[in-house]
Amino acid sequence: MVAATWSLVIVATLVGCSQSSGPSLEPVGSAGDLRAALAAPEGNYRTFETPGELGREVDVVVRGTITGIAEGRSIVYDPENYPEESQSHMVVSVRVDDIVRGQQAAGETSEVYVEVPTSVDVDTDALADAAPRDVLLFLDEVDPRSGGAGTRVSDVDAGRPVDSRLYAPWPAGFLYLDGDQVEDLRIDVIELGPGWSEHRSLDSLERAAASG
């Protein structure tokens, strides 16, 4: 399946027409800095009771290592009425250590490029230094040329090699370990229920995603 944009992933509108300008983020060296830079999910979005159920829904599940963060696309969601209001994104480069579920295109098994929306102006190099390294990702492919009907997209290939595939994570689709607690970049995993919160490691989540 191909998700048209991060803001429209199958059934969920996750990002509205928020203004991308704002105070600069000053990372201090924790995964929380990366979370703080992201636009929070808005509206209703579909959730799943277990990692296995989500794994069956998405295009690909990968275990990987974050290698860099760069500025990504900019999308104006209502160019007719609000031409100056845009949503900025950053692209997280992730080296693929294991394809847990699904498949990638031939020649694209070594790295994936994951787009996430930002809520403030960010220093991408500092965020890359602060970001967690080991991650588990539940991803859908997105069309980089489209932001949805009636939108305007700028910098289509920003943040990744030209013509490489672009992916977006589901809610609870960008998981990492913070101390002894599994966290997601955008939502609280504990809110998803025991089918998620019972897992205390990425290894456990990875097994659940593969076998569900």
The pLDDT of 6-11, averaged and rounded, is 29
State pLDDT tens for residues 37-89: 776 555 567 889 999 999 999 999 999 999 999 999 999 989 989 888 888 89
State pLDDT tens for residues 80-125: 898 888 888 999 999 999 999 987 654 456 899 999 988 767 788 8
- Please state, rounded to an integer, the average pLDDT across all residues of the chain: 79
Contact 176, 134 (CB under 8 A): yes
In the chain, the amino acid numbered 191 is E
State pLDDT tens for residues 176-200: 988 888 988 888 888 889 999 899 9
Question: Is the per-residue pLDDT at 175 higher than 60?
Answer: yes
Q: Whole-model pTM?
A: 0.80
Question: Is the per-residue pLDDT at 22 higher than 50?
Answer: no
Residues in the chain: 212
Beta strands in 31-165 (DSSP E): 60-76, 87-102, 111-117, 134-142, 152-154
